[in-house]
Amino acid sequence: MEAPPIMAPDVNGTRPQPTRAAWRWWVWCAILTPYPILLGTLPILLKHLSGMTLDTQSVLPSTTRELGWVAAENLGLFFVLFFLAWIAARPSPGDLFLSGGVRIPGRTLSSYWLLPLGILYSIGVRIPVSLCLGMAIGVAYLLNQGDPAALQAYRPKIEEVIDPSALAEPLYFILTLTLVSFVVAGFREELWRTAVLVGLLRILPLGWQGWKGRLLVLTLSSLVFGLGHLPQGPAGVLATTLLGFLLGGITLYHRSLWLAVLAHGFFDAATFAALRLAQQYGLLDQMLGK
C-alpha cells in the first residue's frame, strides 16, 4: 500500500501543504530534467552520424513549411514526456503556477499585469545577460592578445540555431516572432523549467525548502538548460544558463508560469527582430564574421 501523502512546505517555504509520495517526484524529475541536454546534443550527434559538419545546417530549418513541422515535432515530443511524468506525480495546476495572477509580497496582482511585466522583464533579463556575455567575450579577447578572431570564436553561434537569411521571408519571420518565440521556446521551455524547479524542491530535505533550496534548484536547472544549447558554443551556453536562472527566479518569486513565458517570448522575439534588422541593413555578415 502506498504511504499517505506527507506534509511539506510549498516552494516558497511559507506554509505546509499535502504532496505526493516522494518517489513520484523522483520519477517526475528523472523524466523531465534531462530533456534539454538530450535535445541540445541530439542535433550534434545526428550531424556527426550523417557526415555533415557542424556549420552546414541550423537546428531550425530554413523554410516555412519545415519550420512548422519541426515546431510540431518539438512540442509533440515534449508533451509526450510531460504526460508520462504527469502520470507519476499528478501535479495540480497550482503546483505548476498556472493561475493567472502574479504574486508579489503581500498581495496578488490581476492577470492584466502579465503583459506589461513580461515586456519589462524581457528587457530586464537582457541587460545582465548581455553584460555577462560581453565581459566573457572581452576576457577571451584579451587572453588571446587582442586577436579579432577570438571575438568570432567565442560569440554565441546563433547560426547553429537558425539560418538568419531565412528571416527575410515574411511568413517565416512572423512564425519566429510568434510560434517559435512564445510557444516552442517560451511556453515549452518555461513549463519544463517550472516543472523541474517544483519537482526538485519537492525532493529536497525539509531543511532546504527555504532560500538555499531555491538557489540550489535554480542553479541546477539553469546549468541543464544551458547545456541544452551546446550547438551555440560556450558563449551560448553561458548566456542561456544565466537567462534560465533569471527566468526561473521570476517564476519562483511571482509564482507565475505565464509571466516567465511572456518574458522569454519577448526576449526571443526581440532577438529575431534584431537579426532581421541587421540583415536588412547589411550588418549580419559582419556580425557572423563572414
Please give the residue range of the domain that contains residue 276: 114-287
Q: Is residue 38 part of a domain?
A: no
Query: How much is the pLDDT for 211?
Result: 87
Q: Is residue 270 part of a domain?
A: yes
Task: Write the pLDDT tens digit of every residue in 61-111.
Answer: 899 999 999 999 999 999 999 999 999 999 999 999 998 889 988 888 888
Q: Is residue 42 part of a domain?
A: no
Q: Is residue 66 part of a domain?
A: no
Q: Is residue 239 part of a domain?
A: yes
Q: Is residue 52 part of a domain?
A: no
Q: Is residue 223 part of a domain?
A: yes
Rounded Cα distance between 60 and 66, Å, is 8
Over residues 173-194, the mean pLDDT reads 96
Alpha-carbon distance values, 238 to 70, 137, 223, 229, 276 (Å): 25, 11, 9, 9, 24
Lowest mean pLDDT among 151-155, 220-224, 274-278: 151-155
Residue 219: pLDDT over 50 = yes
Give the total number of structural domains in the chain: 1
Q: Is residue 98 part of a domain?
A: no
Give 10's pLDDT tier (boundaries 50, 70, 90).
low
Which candidate, 41, 51, 290, places its Cα nearest to that of 165?
290
